[in-house]
Chain A
Amino acid sequence: MGRTHPGIAAIALAIAAFLVVFLVVPVVAVVYTAFSDGQGGFTLAHFSAFSGISLMRESFGNSLYVAGMTVGLGTLIAVPLAYLTVRFQFRGAILVQTLGVLPLVMPAFVGAAAMQLLFGRSGSVNLILKDAFGLTLPLMEGLNGVIFVETLHYFPFILLNLSAALANIDSSMEEAAQNLGASGWRLFRKVVFPLAMPGYVAGASLVFIKVFDDLGTPLVLNVTNMLAPQAYLRVTSIGLEDPIGYVICVILVAFSIGAMGGSWWFVKRRDYALVSRGGVQAPKRRLTAWQAALAYGWIAAMLLLVLSPHLGILLLSFSKVWSFTVLPEQFTLGHFATVFTESKQMIWNTFLYCGLAALVDVAIGTAIAYIVLRTRLPGRQLLDHLVTVALAMPGLVLGIGYLRTFKGIELPFGGGALTASWVIFVLAYAVRRLPYALRSCMAALTQVHPALEEAAENLGAGRWSTIRRVVVPLMMGGILAGFVTSFITAAAEISETILLTSRESLAPMSYGIYLYFQSVLGRGPGAALGVIAVGLVALGTYVSHRLVAANSPHQPGGGK
């Protein structure tokens, strides 16, 4: 492990160059444009222009409001669920886990159309309410709709992070509080929740930025007075030269970095290293009959809500006519037929783009994991940090950055303009989803004990031989899981996709769904395409869980 092979250094440099060209340069170009007066000078004029437009001020406020409300409502849903599963003996745990995964398999913007039909002004729920009580609930009106859809989609991030944090609290921390006289709500408020705070903050900040940056959901719900839709509209209707779009991008980036950095700082500031894992997890308590009824009731209600977009999209995909009725009146398979004839190209495009992007991701991810964990190459951490930057970059920003940076650049061998080719999708997806693949590869390599490699070297295998015959095979489970994660998250991507789709023949499925939803007639085929996408993502999620599960405990030599 002493000296670093020149070949490794060359690979590290190549990866760094890739990240600089396709991540750093586009983002810098966006930021530069926002602060540039056109003659290369620095100016804040675009920002003052931005704040001079009342629609922009309103959009800014709305985006903050929607993101904040989503975090708040998501917390209300997630905290009781997390506490229930981690601390109490009850049979609903599997249901709650399902609750945690279900929303993630369907892109929020796909669910949005179905939610409109179920909870909209003349949706099923309001039709029933009107009949029974003569009133309607404005669940999907304007910003409410965005908050509603985003909450149901993103609360699992809080649930999963918080559950993990709760499970990590040493039981003695709680017992000490009980021993000193605390119980019930006070125990939770004064000891349990503060100790789980790092997990909660990580989840909540993630939800905040995801919602703050989201473009697909507001567009499908026809809400344009928010930041991301405004940036998109400015760039597409006024043009790539309009600086206001870039100002919005800078705000999005600033909030993303602020939220991620803030949560990192928060966790770091407090000394949680003391929360030792030496002891045992808290024994699960029993629920009283009363509490059990409440718990099951809450879970059932949440499950129903969370399932509603899935059921809605399924109904919609099979319905011939569905408007102003509680349920569709006639069913058909026609939408699927339409999709398979009209949108074959889009389905193929999704497989092509996302497959290639995921391949690039695991190749780079494996290389970075090896370089960071197994070599002493100077500056190797920088690669890891660069990739983390990608996590904080909104797709919208990267998309606009690509259009600006690579405008007019021609592909070699007469491939035409880069921004008008399928290659741009692969690059954009690969860069955005690289953090997922990298985490997976890192986790896999951490599990491989260095002695296994030393044994190979001791028996005469050179560095490359060791990597090929020992390291990569041992990491394979993690690499595959990383591939699947990259693939499915890329397939569900919409912000970059909307921006980068220059013509319909290049569009992937996600764009197809979005396009179909633009017209009333297209809702059926859109839903059918959505069902296919959800099936794909669900299958991928299942496969990746299986891969991770199959690989972690039986890893040969997978010690500490």
Chain B
Amino acid sequence: MAERRHSFEIDWWLLTIVMLICLVGLLEIYSSTHGGPLHGMQWKQLIWIGIGFAGMLALSRIDYSGLLDQTPLLYILSIAALAVALVVGSKHFGARRWIEVLGFNLQVSELVKLIIIIVLARYFSEVRTDRLTLADLVKIGVLVGIPAGLILLQPDLGTAMMLVPVAIVGAFLAGIDWKHAAGVLALGAVVAVVGWHGHFLKPYQKQRLATFLNPEQSPRGAGYQILQSEIAVGSGGFWGKGFGKGSQNQLGFVPVRYSDFILAALAEEQGFFGVLIIMLLYLALLLRLVDNAQKAKDRAGMYLVMGVAAIFAFQVLVNAGMVIGYMPVTGVPLPFMSYGGSSTIFGFLALGLVMNVRTKRFVN
């Protein structure tokens, strides 16, 4: 069969870009942790990258049409897994988001992100009209809302929010009435206000959001993190203080400098120049994803790729924005750079989906 001949097609450009980002991440993880009790973290990250890479290869071999076929089952399974994680999951950093699988603590919500991409891709590709109807929007809202709500309960505001751009980008591509768009925006505002004044956000989440608005007010409180991050970034200047020489980074002023705030560490040590390079890499990654979407064989494939792109873009925007104080601290990692098993593996699995779609484009 023709499918067998072209069963595996790697996007070398995409892979090169991603590997460069991973390399920068590894170096900065090393720089941030080599002097302290966390030294050697880069090797752990390298293992995550390896596992992720294997996962990517595996996923790219599975026919995505088969995955799309299984969406109801996958969706129900993911909801169930989230519920299980909430009830019996082990507690890390005050949040129930991990299930132990094969000795690894896996963050269920990362897998759920993948599944939501697939579920929404199927939903959007089934829409035959040029514009989404109000009923469509409600259904999408429910489809995204249930897992997002469960993730929020863990509580993990960052990951919960990551599901939203998948829906938004999909809706935009599928076509949306501007009145509906305005309505969704208004609804979002209402949800935000109710969420704030109700008891849906944990105190630390509220505090993070509050101090984001005025970080200088309490340097040792939650705003401390943002301020220290800004100091790290700002003091880096154009050329940076040099590898392993950032005082903010090396002396531990930058919070979780090897993970969520790794960009602050990079900005301090490599300066604006380093930031420029990494931002161009992310731009290249995102544009390459859009390119893949444009060349997808069908709408479902396009929605899959754009779902992945939406999440990556959201992560870059929110994480980088947080590091320079434009976004609240929500625990959104930088894809392929921040240390972390679940997020790294998710990134590569998402790439696997993209490769999968790419492989399909030659198949007729």
A is bound by B: no
Q: Which residues of B pack against A, CB within 8 Å? A: none
